[in-house]
Structure 1
């Protein structure tokens, strides 16, 4: 994601997304499945809506 997009959509927690991806890829031994599932249930639907807004604008 380019910096302009990050600034235009600052409500999205870009740093958290990047950090979570890095944890999943590089530090998978530290993954707490309950936290991952909570993110899937509660945060992903919000993020999906935010991304749809970006794609339609």
Structure 2
């Protein structure tokens, strides 16, 4: 694995762990929506994830199809360009439903790089 890809994957993992830390005391989607500090920090972390993903080598992305890279980049683009239209309920669902699997996939890719 190229050194840059490894670095970007590490940035992605750190941002995922940041999201987990930011959300850990948030009990419900209602709490999330009303907590501006938390959802602002999480949106920023999703931007970092998307930006790091967007910088991964194209060959790396094409050879690791277990991850829906386009969706990750698409979320970043939506947050950046449609900031005031972001549906925080969808962000909450993404955190709860998609982020754990994405984290595991990123961790597997990082483990493969150390073999």
Which of these residues, 95, 99, 102, is aligned with residue 47 of structure 1?
102
Residues 19-40 of structure 1: CA deviation (Å, up to 9, x unaligned): 1001112211110111000000
SS of the residue aligned with 1:38? helix
Q: How does 1:15-54 map to 2 (within 5 A)?
A: 15-54=70-109
Q: Which runs of 5+ in 2 are unaligned?
A: 1-55
TM-score by length of 1: 0.91
How many residue pairs end up in the alignment? 57
TM-score by length of 2: 0.48
In 2, the alpha carbon distance for the partners of 1:10 and 1:30 equals 29
Larger radius of gyration: 2
Runs of 4+ off more than 6 Å: none
Q: Which runs of 5+ in 1 are unaligned?
A: none
In 2, the alpha carbon distance for the partners of 1:31 and 1:19 equals 12
